[in-house]
Copies of this chain bind each other. A is one copy, B any other.
Amino acid sequence: MAFPRPKPTTMETLAMERANPPFNIRKMSIAMHGSEKALILKEKFMAEIARHPAFKLSDIHDLSKDELRERTMEKFASMVYFVTNESLETFQLRMQLIGIADPSFWTRFGVAYGLFLGALRSGATPNQLSYWTDRGVLGLNGVIGCFAMTELAHGSNVAGLETTATFDRGSDEFVIHTPHLGATKWWIGGAASTATHAAVFAQMIADGKRHGVKTFVTQLRDTKTFTLMPGVTIGDIGKKMGRDGIDNGYIQFTYVRVPRAHMLMKHTQVSRDGVVTEPPLAQLTYGALLGGRTSMVTDSSNSAKKALTVAVRYAAVRRQFATGKNELETQLLDYPIHQRRLMPLVAQAIAIGFTGLRLQVMYEDMTQALDTMEPSDPNLNDILDKLKETHATSAGLKAFCTWACLDTIDKCRQSCGGHGYSAYSNFPLMYADFAVQCTWEGDNTILSLQAGRSLVGAWGAAVKGKKLAPGVAYLNDSSLISAKSDSSLSLSDIQRAWNCVASNVIKKAAEEYVRLLKSGKSKDEAMEKCSQSRFIAAKIHTIGYIFRLFKEAVEEMKDDEESRTLKTVAKLYGLWQIEEQQGYFLKYGYLDAQQMDKVQESVDALCQEVRGVAIPLIDSFALSDHIINSPLGRWDGSVYESYFAQVQAANPLPKEHPYFTRLIKPLLERQDEDMEDPGSAMGLDDELKEIEEERKGE
């Protein structure tokens, strides 16, 4: 007597969700990827890695750390063809895609290709660069680099690093030394077992004088035998929360000598006689940081989209509880609360995606402008202002976008119920891999405070009447402080809402800072004391900034079905975030209590509206089954069949029970009669009884 199976099947359900999409999925996908070219290349990369044995992903949850690391180097080897033969632009898109599929490998490759080579590019003189190029550094042959900055006791405070590089004039060498345990280089990706050289950050000392932290290219291992160089001690840092495919290590130097020429001397030079020439201006590093942060914003969007692809498809096919007279159980996605759980996150991931695209363009424009500009150019100051502002905003973006993505991954996991806890759902690995993004390249809280500091400065400049750079130009409009909603909740009303509230929270932070200064605090103390207000300022400014960039992107599009859908998505993002931060909108009077109720109603309605196009919208994220690597999010909806097949394939039962005879059999067959009463043996009983008596006596 078979129990009647519910109809339709999960596959049929997903097909129905795809029938008659109200917009063209391809066109939507192109808009989200910035260009058709970018989309086509992504599809090509996805096909390539889906077919490459080293990029197999379905078995990744059951590999040991050692197996993961070995596979990382297989992937590494498979990349050198492209790194040598592809254009930089194409290769960067390739790496962006690989970053979504396999963050562990992306990190190992990025350490060699991004950080180590980046250190050379930005720090080496032309002669030095050509020396290292001759040794094969650009093609990743001859030299495989790592980046030895962080130490056990110093992370954020780079200027406080304690490794020393002392100039020895006699031998024309620097002596690299780790003076104590806390100065051990720590977390160094690639150091444990795969790097030949390191860019070592150390306090440079010449003639007994300290000149601050410089970079020294230091050989770690013999390239023929891979044995450690004399004086170099290396250990494996071992298991991490995620990204176990990268071999992080520690390094201790015991009076290791490197030629003077191995200090990167584009900025500071040390002559044969030990004369130190400092650069005329502090090094301009805004550009480099900006590039990294831009890519982290994009990666936050992509990683969130990956998690959402799984959660939304699963919510479409998973049915639970029949409502009313329905025989068929209800799709999770049809529950208002489930729409509330996922649709705002979809909107946010899309908003951050468009922000990343526009940031990329701004970054490229600025880099080009700086590269082609003469120091005498009359626009130089404007461009530098803009760069500085974007740099500060990007600090906030890095923080709040990576937080948003991490939060999205875990909410997606929870939305899939128990199955989200299975490794094969891929959420656990996504979370574990992504979590480090909130810490590296600047702890998110500290970056937020930096952004807040800059906003306090911008407020001060605005008060003095200075025209501000575009990202904070709203601070020049003093009428915003007391603005009120026109009750339309239109995109421009929402934009004004964010500008109003951001102006107010920035003003609060700035006034707090000034008040603290007036009360006699030093600048540093005052900044620390107003941290909480600075943090809030950065948060609100950043959300408003993301909303603005998304809105601009959508408004620049032709008026078609795709842009109309995206306007709905933008509205959901803006209003949902108003709801999330409602305290500030009420506090500064942009919205009153009744309007806030309307906001909640609108968010409910928008969630329902976006739910109607949820599957086509997710499809336009264009992530292959191989990339999302989760049976719960299968494109064809065959959720249970794929999940069961993967669980079976990954967990063959052993021929013999590994510990039945040793552990379980004696348990099952034991007789407890001979055991002594534990009371007297434990010795605690009398003491506990006394306590009991005392208690009763009280």
Find out whether the CB atom of B203 lies under 8 angstroms from the CB atom of A664.
Answer: no
Cβ contacts A631-658/B at 8 Å (1 or 0 each): 0000000001101100110110100011
Q: How far is the CA of A651 from the CA of B234 in the complex (A)?
A: 11
| Copies of this chain, tallied across the complex | 2
Q: How far apart are A588's CB and chain B's nearest CB, in angstroms?
A: 7
Q: How far is the CA of A413 from the CA of B663 in the complex (A)?
A: 36
List, in ascending order, chain B residues with CB within 8 A of A341's CB: 445
Find out whether the CB atom of A428 lies under 8 angstroms from the CB atom of B647.
Answer: no
Query: Which residue of chain B has its CB nearest to the CB of A597?
Result: B508
Which of A237-245, A371-379, A472-480, A613-621 touches B? A237-245
Q: How far is the CA of A181 from the CA of B589 in the complex (A)?
A: 56
Q: Which of chain A's residues 84-114 have a Cβ closer than 8 Å to chain B?
A: 84-86
Q: How far is the CA of A431 from the CA of B410 in the complex (A)?
A: 11
Contacting residue for A659 out of B73, B522, B688, CB 8 A: B73
Contacting residue for A666 out of B77, B239, B585, CB 8 A: B77
Which of A35-43, A277-285, A456-464 touches B? A35-43
Find out whether the CB atom of A422 lies under 8 angstroms from the CB atom of B237.
Answer: yes
Find out whether the CB atom of A668 lies under 8 angstroms from the CB atom of B144.
Answer: yes
Q: Which of chain A's residues 571-589 have a Cβ closer than 8 Å to chain B?
A: 581-583, 585-589
Q: Contacts A182-B640, A650-B239, A678-B85; is A531 near B337 (CB within 8 Å)?
A: yes
Find out whether the CB atom of A86 lies under 8 angstroms from the CB atom of B678.
Answer: yes
Find out whether the CB atom of B335 lies under 8 angstroms from the CB atom of A150.
Answer: no
Find out whether the CB atom of B672 lies under 8 angstroms from the CB atom of A423.
Answer: no
Any chain B CB within 8 A of the CB of A126? Answer: no
Q: Contacts A641-B181, A647-B238, A668-B196; is A336 near B529 (CB within 8 Å)?
A: yes
Q: How far apart are A213's CB and chain B's nearest CB, in angstroms?
A: 12
Q: Which of chain A's residues 657-680 have a Cβ closer than 8 Å to chain B?
A: 657-660, 663-672, 675, 677-678
Q: Which of chain A's residues 67-85 have a Cβ closer than 8 Å to chain B?
A: 70, 73-74, 76-77, 80-82, 84-85
Find out whether the CB atom of B670 lies under 8 angstroms from the CB atom of A80.
Answer: yes
Any chain B CB within 8 A of the CB of A62? Answer: yes
Contacting residue for A335 out of B142, B528, B669, B677, CB 8 A: B528
List, in ascending order, chain B residues with CB within 8 A of A585's CB: 583
List, in ascending order, chain B residues with CB within 8 A of A62's CB: 238-239
Q: How far is the CA of A143 from the CA of B664 in the complex (A)?
A: 11
Any chain B CB within 8 A of the CB of A368? Answer: no
List, in ascending order, chain B residues with CB within 8 A of A410's CB: 406, 435
Cβ contacts A182-212/B at 8 Å (1 or 0 each): 1110110000011010000001010010000
Contacting residue for A181 out of B155, B600, B640, CB 8 A: B640
List, in ascending order, chain B residues with CB within 8 A of A336's CB: 528-529, 531-532
Q: Which of chain A's residues 381-438 have a Cβ closer than 8 Å to chain B?
A: 406, 410, 413-414, 417-418, 420-424, 427-428, 431-432, 435-436, 438
Which of A300-308, A320-328, A545-553 touches B? A320-328
Q: How far is the CA of A600 from the CA of B529 in the complex (A)?
A: 12
Closest 9 CB pairs of A and B: A239-B423, A582-B583, A241-B428, A337-B531, A236-B651, A238-B651, A583-B583, A586-B586, A85-B678
Query: What would 23 A/B residue contacts be, using CB atoms closer than 8 Å?
Result: A37-B695, A74-B663, A85-B677, A143-B668, A152-B644, A155-B418, A156-B321, A157-B321, A157-B329, A160-B320, A182-B640, A186-B418, A236-B651, A237-B651, A238-B647, A238-B651, A240-B421, A324-B525, A340-B535, A418-B440, A420-B439, A532-B603, A533-B600
